[in-house]
Amino acid sequence: MSTEDKVKINKLPTGVPGLDEIVGGGLPEFSFNIIAGAPGSGKTTLAHQFVFANATPERPALYFTVLGESTIKMLRYQQQYSFFDPSMLPGSIRFINLSEVVLEKDLGAVLEQITKEVEKASPAVVVVDSFRTMVRKPESDMDLQSFIQRLALFLASWQATTFLIGEYAEDELRDNPIFTVADGLIWLRQTAERNSIVRKLQVIKLRGQDSVPGLHTFRITDAGVQAFSRTFGLTSRKRNPPSNRRLCFGVPELDKMLGGGVPEGDSVLIAGSSGTGKSVLATQFVAEGIRNGEPGIVAVFEERPEAYAERATSLGLDLETPQTDGKLTILYLRPLDLSVDETMQSILDAVQKIGAKRLVIDSLAGFEMALSPGFRADFRESLYRMIFALTGIGVTILSTVEVDESFTQFPFSTYSISFLTDDIIRLRYVSIDGQLRKILVVIKMRGGNHAKDIREYEITDKGVVILGKRLANYQALISGIPIRSDRPNSADEPSLDNGIEPKT
Amino acid sequence: MLGKKMKAAPTMRDLARCLLTYEAGADKASEPMESPTLRVYEKLRQSLAEFAGVAAFESLAFRALTQAKSEAPSLWAVKVAADGSLQGLARYETQIDMDKDLVGEFPAGDGGIILIARLLGLLRLFLGEALTLSLLRNVWPGAALDNCNSENGRKA
């Protein structure tokens, strides 16, 4: 069968930001779906968003309410969401209460009533909220499975996309014949993780659609439900081809050590203990990008954007003007209950808004602390997805990470995430001549050669400044307690691996 | 809110008067024996019972009547039945005076207006102005509800 011969299934927008991506581009038209979850998980709000996104006066939505929440109270609360358009009621969206039929008759009568209303209105969308409450009458003549089966057949014939909303607990998912009838099953979960609430949704089933598997974080705000796809909405975007460009720090000696700068699209880690200048170097990196016409994003977790910009000013770096000009965004991601996916969405939105080429995450420790405890367990995995997605679209990421100084070890990160990074720059304190000085070394560069030199640096009012030549007259520098050797400091230029000359 | 911006809302009494006047006009053409208050009330009952359920309407109507009785004691004999219908209004309705010269004041005989106004007031309280007007427009598509301010309401 050729592609032309196959039936085309239209995809309807869900009205839920992020959910279209998760369900594979939209919900199939005329599909019969169940939205399941515990009370308060956002089922009704999600259904309302779909209804408001798709109902028209010509093809209205019928919203059948049954027992449970009063329609008036439900609308009182739902209209607080920004998607709620009261002018669509009742012309495009009709609410019909079935509680009397349910209480006084049986499921057959409910089906009859729904049939009558559907035949009268020819709706594009039908919602039954909540169908679960209908079967709590033991004397019902029709069982729920039969009711669902007949309802699904009828509504499909009438070309309606349908949602049944039901309160289900996790353990009811298995072997439930109701779910076999449905074309789509969206499960909303809400769990408490220590003091935080974590909301996740899962498209357990969606016939004919290439939905994104797994659990996706969602949040309910005054705009309604917002979902955050695990793939960050980047599944349809091709990865950028590798670039030969190098992005400078604006610290000439460091750029030489890096073989001309950081390869574009790399993930760079700057590791060091407190006060070694990680944030300073990160700020210089983003400021240099702006000087070269590369917009940047700085995601900060530990201080307010104003304080961050003010600190940059003390280093002679102006972060105020580029913010005004739309070339720099300093994102302050509120330090409570975040998921990586949410953070990622904020960063992606900012990247797309200003066309950012450089992203600074300052710091990973702050990022982790900003997450809800439930998400911290998945931090490394989430970070991997985030870095892979962002570098794939050509963004160069510089992350800072604080490491504890040790005189027996030389750790690069407390997260064991060096596999996530292409390049690692390590900063540390050393004790030399009765002073606590700072040294810098490029540990790794996945895409190119780099200097092996250990260089001393200072933080001045111009930022990080590398001093002199490499420290050749000391041994065991990386231990932090070096031993002076008889060799004088090298007069050579920084040497690169494989004998490649540094770019200048 | 995404909804189209509504005009400044009339007061509930003006809105009630508007609806009663509209129904009184329709009354002459069709069912002259039925009171305008009852016609307005019944239309609201049918619409809201379908929308929110009979029990929800009955609760609202009972509350509205209780409030109205405190303002118009002559409504003392009126009751709300279990199905939400109004009982005892017919004999009382003859006293209702649709006095067109009174501005914002309601003589004792205007109990019907007060009852409807109270019901509309509860709807506005729970559903908001925009949604209430949207629902009313659906029940009375021919009535110029946006013009139901104090002056226009009486001209309608």
pLDDT of residue A230: 81
Does the distance separating the beta carbons of B53 and A71 come in below 8 Å? yes
**Domain at A246-428: CATH code:** 3.40.50.300
Better-scored residue on pLDDT, A440 or A409: A440
Tens digit of each residue's pLDDT (9 = 90 or more) over A108-154: 899 999 999 999 999 999 999 987 777 655 555 567 788 888 999 99
Residues 6+ apart with CB under 8 A from A324: none
> Does pLDDT of A57 surpass 50?
yes
Q: Name the closest residue on chain A to residue B130, using Cα atoms.
A: A86
Measured in angstroms, the CA of B101 and the nearest CA of chain A are apart by: 34
* Distance in angstroms (rounded) separating the CA atoms of residues A56 and B146: 23
> Does pLDDT of B152 surpass 50?
no
Ramachandran area for residue A362 (φ above 0: left; ψ -120 to 50: alpha; else beta): beta
DSSP state of A377: T
* Distance in angstroms (rounded) separating the CA atoms of residues A504 and A305: 34
CA torsion, points A380, A385, A386, A387, in degrees to nearest 10?
Answer: 90
Length of chain A: 504
> Does pLDDT of A388 surpass 80?
yes
Better-scored residue on pLDDT, A504 or A374: A374
For A87, the closest of B4, B49, B54 (CB atoms) is B4
Residues 6+ apart with CB under 8 A from A55: A61, A88, A92, A93, A123, A124, A125
Q: Which of chain A's residues have a Cβ under 8 Å away from the Cβ of B128?
A: 76, 79, 86
Tens digit of each residue's pLDDT (9 = 90 or more) over A296-333: 999 998 888 999 999 999 989 999 999 999 999 999 87
Better-scored residue on pLDDT, B41 or A100: B41
DSSP state of A448: S
Per-residue pLDDT band for A171 (boundaries 50, 70, 90) equals: confident
pLDDT of residue A144: 77
The mean per-residue pLDDT over the stretch B49-61 comes to: 92
Q: Which of chain A's residues have a Cβ under 8 Å away from the Cβ of B131?
A: 75, 79, 86, 89
Q: B52 at the A interface (CB within 8 A)?
A: yes
Based on C-alpha coordinates, what's the Rg of chain B? Answer: 15
Per-residue pLDDT band for A501 (boundaries 50, 70, 90) equals: very low
**Where are the domains positioned within chain A?**
3-228, 246-428
% of chain A surpassing 90 pLDDT: 52
Ramachandran area for residue A206 (φ above 0: left; ψ -120 to 50: alpha; else beta): beta
Q: B141 at the A interface (CB within 8 A)?
A: no
Measured in angstroms, the CA of B58 and the nearest CA of chain A are apart by: 13
Q: What is the mean pLDDT of chain A?
A: 86
Residues 6+ apart with CB under 8 A from A368: A376, A379, A415
Please report the DSSP string for chain B in residue order: --SPPPPPPPPHHHHHHHHHHHHHHHHHHS-TTS-HHHHHHHHHHHHHHHHH-HHHHHHHHHHHHHHHHHH-GGGGG-EE-TTS-EES-HHHHTT----TT-SS---GGGHHHHHHHHHHHHHHHHH-HHHHHHHHHHH-TTS-GGG-SHHHHHH-
Crossing angle of helices A340-354 and A379-392, in 10° steps, is 20
- Are A422 and A268 in contact by the 8 Å Cβ rule? The answer is yes
Q: Which of residues 111-140 of B touch A (CB under 8 A)?
A: 126-128, 130-131, 134-135, 138
Topology of domain A3-228 in CATH is Rossmann fold (3.40.50)
Using DSSP's 3-state secondary structure scheme, residue A389 falls into: helix
Crossing angle of helices A71-78 and B54-71, in 10° steps, is 80
Residue A48's identity, in one-letter code, is H
Per-residue pLDDT band for A468 (boundaries 50, 70, 90) equals: confident
pLDDT of residue A280: 95
ipTM over 0.95: no
Does the distance separating the beta carbons of A72 and B2 come in below 8 Å? no
Tens digit of each residue's pLDDT (9 = 90 or more) over A13-35: 999 999 999 999 999 999 999 99
Nearest CA to A72 out of B53, B136, B66, B84 is that of B53
The reported pTM is 0.75
How buried is A491 (Cβ within 10 angstroms: 0-12 exposed, 13-18 middle, 19+ buried)?
exposed
- Cα separations (Å) of A17 from A13, A79, A193, A228, A229? 9, 18, 25, 8, 10
Residue A478's identity, in one-letter code, is I
* Distance in angstroms (rounded) separating the CA atoms of residues B90 and B71: 19
Tens digit of each residue's pLDDT (9 = 90 or more) over A35-56: 999 888 999 999 999 999 999 9
The mean per-residue pLDDT over the stretch A232-244 comes to: 66
Identical topology for domains A3-228 and A246-428 = yes
> Does pLDDT of B138 surpass 50?
yes
Residues 6+ apart with CB under 8 A from A422: A263, A266, A267, A268, A444, A445, A446, A447
Q: B3 at the A interface (CB within 8 A)?
A: yes
Q: Name the closest residue on chain A to residue B5, using Cα atoms.
A: A87
Does the distance separating the beta carbons of B135 and A84 come in below 8 Å? no
For B3, the closest of A86, A90, A91 (CB atoms) is A86
Residues 6+ apart with CB under 8 A from A225: A16, A19, A42, A45, A46, A49, A218, A219
Nearest CA to A371 out of A358, A386, A357 is that of A386
Measured in angstroms, the CA of B4 and the nearest CA of chain A are apart by: 6
Nearest CA to B89 out of B38, B42, B41 is that of B38
CB atoms within 10 A of CB B138: 14
Give phi and psi for A483, each to the nearest 5. -115, 130
> Does pLDDT of A380 surpass 90?
no
Using DSSP's 3-state secondary structure scheme, residue A378 falls into: coil
